[in-house]
Amino acid sequence: MWEFRSMSFWRAVFAEFYGTMFFVFFGLGAALRWTTGSHNVLHVAFCFGLAAATLIQSIGHISGGHINPAVTFAYLIGSQMSLFRAVFYIVAQCLGALAGAAVLYGVTPNNMRGNLALNMLQPGISLGMATTVEVFLTLQLVVCIFAVTDERRNGRLGSAALAIGFSVLIGHLLGLRLGVYWVGPMIGGAMGAIIYDFMLFPRMRSLSERMAILKGTRPPEAESQQDARGEPIELKTQAL
């Protein structure tokens, strides 16, 4: 496949590893209970949001700055990246998350580690309720990402990275005590991609065009244009 032979592809995969590693390190570090008393949700939410904005700004022009398997899955559902790339991105993100958590574990005193800020269901919150919350939070995040990085959008103002960071922030303000991962975010990511790419601002591509992108035989427009100029790939990251 053309991506496997492209150095831009491997730089993008490493960028996802790098970005997710630092996102988890900073986010979980802020979520640890360093002092007694109630958990400061605002403090944790701002750290996650600012970390997301900073890292997306840093690596967005290299990989797209997904730093989240649910976001990568959403781009796959929207036929905006190949299955091959999506698999490598998700693997890199998971390995990056493990690396970030491992570093945090190593530099945190034993009496402060606890469960390393592992998300747990709060009393009175059922699995169905928590999953539904994650579906809605990830849906709004994906729609925000698709909207602010859409190359078809005219007159884009402000910073896309900052907008995405605020989307992460508001999601944590609500979902920090409620969320459970994987099932809810993946469903929410898929729904967000469908709502934006097929309903709010449809991409007029034929089935054969979408299948070609998914198979990796036809790179997305932004990538093919930039490869022709010999510049780094930018996957839906213009004007970050």
- What gap in Å lies between CA 134 and CA 138, rounded to an integer? 6
What is the overall mean pLDDT for the chain? Answer: 88
* pLDDT confidence of residue 16: 98
pTM of this prediction? 0.88
229 within domain boundaries: no
Type of residue numbered 133: V
- What gap in Å lies between CA 124 and CA 129, rounded to an integer? 10
Residue 112: count of CB within 10 angstroms of its CB: 11
Show the domain range for 90. 2-218
What's the CATH code of the domain at 110? 1.20.1080.10
228 within domain boundaries: no
* pLDDT confidence of residue 221: 57
Total domains in the chain come to 1
- What gap in Å lies between CA 124 and CA 34, rounded to an integer? 26
- What gap in Å lies between CA 18 and CA 97, rounded to an integer? 9
Q: Give Cα separations from 160 to 2, 30, 91, 156 (angstroms).
A: 29, 24, 25, 9
pLDDT in tens, 114-124: 888 888 888 88
- What gap in Å lies between CA 12 and CA 6, rounded to an integer? 10
Instruction: Give yes or no for residue 218 having a pLDDT over 80.
Output: no
Q: Give Cα separations from 5 to 61, 71, 128, 215 (angstroms).
A: 19, 24, 43, 15
Helices then strands, each counted (H, E), the chain:
10, 0
Instruction: Give yes or no for residue 26 having a pLDDT over 90.
Output: yes
pLDDT in tens, 75-108: 999 999 999 999 999 999 999 999 999 999 999 9
User: 152-170 as b/e, with b when 16 or more CB fall inside 10 Å?
Assistant: eeeeeeebbbbbbbbbbbe
Residues 6+ apart with CB under 8 A from 161: 53, 54, 56, 57, 60, 65, 240
Least confident of 37-41, 162-166, 201-205, 225-229: 225-229
239 within domain boundaries: no
Residue 82: count of CB within 10 angstroms of its CB: 25
24 within domain boundaries: yes
